[in-house]
């Protein structure tokens, strides 16, 4: 009897699983808030140079004229080709003659300009305060905005590398509790950062924490859920992440000050920390880590919550060890990343999933972190980008349940890439069409993300599941770091970034076809389970090919006769 049978014996999808999953799912709401936070805390408002009134300039009128903000802007800041004030330059001298209403753009003379030496004036109508206005991250300092997001993503990457492996060593629950604490403290510190450097440091550490609890929560949920309920459970967590994207727009609208907004999405982790002690450590992990006594205690606790007292009483250390003897005999003391490439079947899974994780994240954040360029309200587009995930995840849940994980993942990846590439050929004046295609493409990528998460947890065996998921998340964060950098390629050719964002998921969709199907397949408990399944499938394929060749030989023999 394997662990799946023990799980069914103590209640299957009972009261414990429902409460446990619910409590673990709540923090996922704020994952979206932190990942996409800089769409609002680092929003770039309209701005122009601060004008120096102390400069006399040329052509100053003999009598004093009252100067309002518009008049001051007219004489102090040049306009661009769209007749909008320049953001990064001002006149060296105030151009008083521009106050003459007869002076038009056609008869303006070329005048010397200089960079904004005295700072900027920001339009605070929409954003009361952002890190842009706080530390003047505009013009030649604008790249620091992208760097801040890349630093955060680098933190998520480091967290996946470090905390993912530690969770396989010290347990899922311990790392979840630590990550909640780190997110609460570092996120709050980021809200009160005195300067840009400290802000980046705290955001980096917040990213590490997010990666830690995200991976641990995924394993804690999956490893306590029966096989037949895994798809709907992971889909539910995906919907919660979607809810977080929609709520982010509401929080940003209600709290226009970036510091209070940062605090609002970080402080709830203190509450999560308080109730996280109720979580149950993964019994699968305890058994395979040689902690059978603790596993028995947790299984009996789960049985009591599920009102399966008699079934729980029958579970003893001896019974557990006897029935899990096969899994325990093939489990070594410790596992590392090297175990992901040591055997052929796991190695193929590792290579394919690495490409998939990178591509999904690369294209996803290429679209999701560029909201200000859609020409509509940033709050509205955030809601739309979040809302599209609902139908996308409903569809992917159905396709994963009936068609399988592999075909669902490959289809959504290829479709997303094709839509992004098609958008290149839509005229720029058709902004609604371009936005609609971008939203659909983002929905497909969200569906692919959901599928990739579930697929990864089902493909890797228990001893390296957290490590494998952690490395997949690492590749996703590499994609998230590279995505803003790819945007810079538009300086060379405008269509280059969307081409790259579109080609990446198409290629990864084709690669996903090489992964084994896991629909209605029990979770593998050992690396040997995965290898045996791969060998069994290979033997079946060889047998089918042999039968096909024999039939062809018979047909040829009949024709010859």
Distance of alpha carbon 297 from the chain centroid:
35
Q: Say how far apart CA 419 and CA 435 lie, in whole Å.
A: 11
Q: Say how far apart CA 423 and CA 436 lie, in whole Å.
A: 9
Q: Say how far apart CA 193 and CA 231 lie, in whole Å.
A: 41
* Res. 270: pLDDT tops 90: yes
Banded model confidence at residue 415, pLDDT cuts 50, 70, 90: very high
The pLDDT value recorded for residue 46 is: 79
pLDDT tens sequence across 279-314:
888 777 787 777 778 878 888 888 888 887 777 777
**What Rg value do the Cα atoms of the chain yield, rounded?**
29
pLDDT tens sequence across 169-200:
777 888 888 989 999 999 999 999 999 999 99
The pLDDT value recorded for residue 264 is: 92
> What percent of the chain stands above pLDDT 70?
81
The pLDDT value recorded for residue 375 is: 60
Banded model confidence at residue 556, pLDDT cuts 50, 70, 90: low
Banded model confidence at residue 530, pLDDT cuts 50, 70, 90: confident
pLDDT tens sequence across 430-462:
777 878 888 888 889 888 988 888 888 888 887
Give mean pLDDT, residues 361-375. 73
* Res. 337: pLDDT tops 70: no
Q: Say how far apart CA 346 and CA 354 lie, in whole Å.
A: 12
Banded model confidence at residue 48, pLDDT cuts 50, 70, 90: confident
The pLDDT value recorded for residue 55 is: 45
The pLDDT value recorded for residue 340 is: 78
Burial class (CB in 10 A: 0-12, 13-18, 19+), 10: buried
User: What is the CATH topology of the domain spanning 3-44+133-512?
Assistant: Growth Hormone; Chain: A; (1.20.1250)
Burial class (CB in 10 A: 0-12, 13-18, 19+), 83: exposed
The pLDDT value recorded for residue 357 is: 92
The pLDDT value recorded for residue 63 is: 47
Q: Say how far apart CA 422 and CA 388 lie, in whole Å.
A: 19
Whether this model's pTM surpasses 0.85: no
């Amino acid at each position: 009897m394997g662990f799946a049978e023990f799980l069914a014996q103590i209640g299957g999808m009972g009261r414990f699983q429902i409460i446990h999953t619910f409590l673990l799912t709540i923090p996922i709401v704020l994952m979206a808030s932190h990942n996409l936070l800089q769409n609002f805390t680092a929003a770039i408002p309209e701005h122009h140079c601060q004008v120096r009134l102390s400069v006399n300039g040329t052509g100053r009128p003999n009598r004093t004229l009252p100067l309002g903000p518009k008049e001051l802007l007219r004489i102090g800041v040049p306009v661009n080709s769209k007749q909008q004030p320049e953001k990064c330059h001002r006149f060296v001298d105030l151009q008083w003659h521009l106050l003459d209403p007869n002076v038009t753009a056609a008869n303006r003379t070329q005048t010397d300009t200089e960079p904004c030496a005295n700072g900027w004036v920001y339009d605070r109508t929409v954003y009361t305060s952002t890190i842009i206005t706080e530390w003047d991250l505009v013009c030649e300092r604008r790249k620091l905005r992208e760097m801040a997001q890349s630093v955060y993503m680098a933190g998520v990457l480091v967290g996946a590398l470090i905390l993912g492996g530690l969770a396989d060593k010290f347990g899922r629950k311990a790392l979840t509790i630590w990550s909640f604490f780190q997110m609460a403290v570092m996120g709050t510190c980021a809200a009160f950062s005195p300067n840009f450097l400290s802000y980046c440091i705290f955001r980096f550490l917040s990213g590490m924490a997010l990666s830690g609890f995200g991976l641990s929560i995924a394993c804690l949920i999956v490893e306590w859920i029966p096989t037949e309920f895994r798809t709907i459970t992971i889909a539910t967590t995906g919907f919660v992440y979607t809810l977080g994207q929609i709520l982010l727009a509401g929080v940003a609208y209600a709290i226009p000050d970036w510091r209070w907004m940062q605090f609002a999405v970080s402080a709830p982790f203190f509450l999560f920390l308080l109730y996280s002690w109720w979580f149950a450590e993964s019994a699968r992990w305890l058994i395979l880590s040689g902690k059978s006594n603790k596993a028995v205690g947790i299984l009996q606790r789960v049985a009591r919550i599920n009102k399966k007292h008699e079934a729980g009483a029958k579970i003893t250390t001896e019974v557990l060890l006897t029935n899990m003897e096969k899994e325990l005999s093939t489990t070594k003391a410790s596992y590392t990343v090297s175990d992901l490439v040591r055997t052929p079947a796991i190695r193929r899974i590792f290579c394919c999933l690495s490409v998939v994780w990178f591509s999904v994240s690369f294209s996803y954040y290429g679209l999701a972190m560029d909201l200000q360029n859609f020409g509509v309200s940033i709050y509205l587009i955030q809601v739309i980008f979040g809302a599209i995930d609902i139908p996308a995840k409903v569809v992917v849940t159905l396709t994963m349940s009936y068609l399988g994980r592999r075909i669902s993942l490959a289809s959504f990846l290829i479709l997303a890439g094709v839509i992004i590439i098609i958008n290149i050929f839509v005229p720029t004046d058709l902004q609604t069409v371009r936005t609609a295609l971008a939203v659909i493409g983002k929905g497909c990528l969200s569906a692919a993300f959901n599928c990739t998460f579930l697929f990864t947890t089902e493909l890797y065996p228990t001893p390296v599941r957290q490590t494998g998921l952690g490395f997949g998340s690492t590749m996703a964060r590499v994609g998230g770091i590279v995505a803003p950098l790819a945007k810079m390629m538009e300086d060379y050719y405008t269509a280059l970034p969307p081409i790259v964002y579109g080609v990446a998921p198409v290629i990864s969709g084709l690669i996903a076809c090489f992964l084994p199907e896991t629909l209605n397949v029990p979770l593998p408990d050992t690396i040997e389970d995965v290898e045996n399944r791969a060998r069994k499938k290979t033997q079946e394929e060889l047998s089918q090919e042999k039968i096909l060749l024999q039939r062809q030989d018979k047909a040829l023999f009949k024709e010859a006769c």
